[in-house]
């Protein structure tokens, strides 16, 4: 394909199809790419450019400058980095497909990100949140099963609410589908197993008769699959009932799962597999949390630490 043969909109659509098919990215990631490249296209169109072969490094720099200086909707450094990453990936694709003669975004540098440590709560705090869902009514049984499963497996909230009944294998193993539909098998501890069993026997049938037949594991009050937003509300309500005094989210369960495993002596590569991380470097961030905890304890307890 020669430069100048396709419009900007067509090139973007081809790139999105490429990353969806060739890289197997999740729908959420594809939508993020679409939004990022939509913003980039808007800037290019305002600059009179609708041909990918006419984009210059100055145009890429203009987009980066607009991201840094926008006053109406200021972006975090991580959002800016992600948007520039989307643009750089798009331009690499244009070059590989022969739509342009050079990669004009190769020198675009994303902002440096500060190392953000995952937020985890203590084992005692987690126990109080889980205890806040105690009860014999069907909603309490469901909420208990959902929260116990999140903490027992480190599942992302989208993975948990996407589970079907058949994904719970032999009661003590769950089959999770992560980013890019990658499948992994994660053990389920005795507490979560007991909570899920109680929910399946005593609560799910009551939810199921309220709606259409669905294979979903976790059901809402109308018999439909529990949504991610529902899961957030369930967690928020449990945290308020437990009187934690801090905001927690579904990711708090994932972070706490990893941090508590590593603090208990689990190998980082095992935790990597359980979390579904493609790179061990991502998982190693949690080892910094554990190291910080050890350092604090040492400083407090050792007579010659300070």
CATH number at residue 77: 1.10.150.130
Choose the catalytic residue: 119, 179, 184, 228. 179
Domain assignment of residue 114, yes or no: no
pLDDT tens-place string over residues 73-87: 667 777 888 888 899
Please give the tally of structural domains in the chain. 2
Q: Give the pLDDT score at 272.
A: 85
Domain assignment of residue 144, yes or no: yes
Domain assignment of residue 165, yes or no: yes
Say whether 179 is catalytic: yes
Domain assignment of residue 61, yes or no: yes
Say whether 109 is catalytic: no
pLDDT tens-place string over residues 212-256: 889 999 999 999 999 988 999 999 999 999 998 888 888 899 889
Q: What is the 3-state secondary structure (H, E, C) of the chain?
A: CCCCCCCHHHHHHHHHHHHHHHCCCCHHHHHHHHHHHHHHHHHHHHCCCCCHHHCCHHHHHHHHHHHHHCCCCCCCHHHHHHHHHHHHHHHHHHHHCCCCCCCCCCCCCCCCCCCCCCCCCCHHHHHHHHHCCCCCCHHHHHHHHHHHHHHHHCCCHHHHHCCEHHHEECCCEEEEECHHHCEEEEECCHHHHHHHHHHHHHCHHHHHCCCCCCCECCECCCCCECCHHHHHHHHHHHHHHCCCCCCCCHHHHHHHHHHHHHHCCCCHHHHHHHHCCCCHHHHCHHHHHHHHHHHHHHHHHCCCCC
- 156 and 31, same domain (yes or no): no
What domain range includes position 15?
A: 8-96
pTM, rounded to two decimals: 0.61
- 269 and 200, same domain (yes or no): yes
- 296 and 171, same domain (yes or no): yes
Q: Give the pLDDT score at 204.
A: 97
Say whether 302 is catalytic: no
- 288 and 192, same domain (yes or no): yes
Choose the catalytic residue: 88, 142, 254, 260. 254
pLDDT < 70 stretches in the chain:
1-4, 24, 71-74, 111-118, 171, 180-181, 278-306
């Amino acid at each position: 394909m020669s430069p100048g043969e396709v419009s900007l909109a067509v090139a973007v659509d081809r790139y999105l199809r490429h990353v969806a098919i060739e890289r197997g990215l999740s729908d959420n990631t594809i939508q993020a790419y679409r939004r990022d490249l939509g913003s980039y296209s808007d800037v290019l169109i305002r600059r009179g450019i609708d041909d990918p072969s006419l984009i210059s490094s100055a145009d890429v720099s203009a987009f980066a400058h607009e991201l840094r200086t926008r006053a109406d909707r200021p972006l975090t450094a991580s959002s800016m980095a992600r948007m520039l990453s989307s643009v750089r990936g798009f331009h690499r694709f244009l070059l590989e497909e022969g739509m342009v003669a050079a990669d004009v975004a190769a020198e675009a540098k994303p902002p440096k990100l500060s190392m953000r440590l995952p937020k985890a709560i203590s084992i005692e705090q987690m126990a109080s949140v889980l205890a806040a869902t105690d009860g014999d009514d069907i909603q309490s049984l469901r909420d208990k099963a959902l929260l116990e499963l999140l903490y027992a497996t480190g599942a992302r909230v989208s993975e948990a609410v996407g589970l079907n009944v058949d994904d719970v294998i032999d009661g003590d193993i769950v089959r999770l589908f992560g980013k890019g539909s990658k499948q992994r098998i994660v053990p389920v501890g005795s507490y979560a197993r007991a909570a899920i069993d109680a929910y399946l026997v005593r609560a799910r049938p009551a939810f199921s008769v309220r709606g259409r037949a669905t294979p979903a594991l976790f059901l809402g009050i109308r018999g439909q699959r529990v949504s991610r937003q529902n899961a957030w509300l369930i967690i928020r309500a449990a945290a308020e009932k437990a009187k934690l005094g801090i905001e927690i989210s579904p990711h708090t369960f994932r972070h706490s799962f990893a941090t508590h495993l590593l603090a208990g002596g689990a190998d980082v590569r095992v935790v990597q597999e359980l979390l579904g991380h493609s790179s061990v470097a991502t998982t190693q961030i949690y080892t910094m949390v554990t190291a910080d905890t050890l350092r604090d304890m040492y400083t407090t307890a050792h007579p010659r630490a300070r």
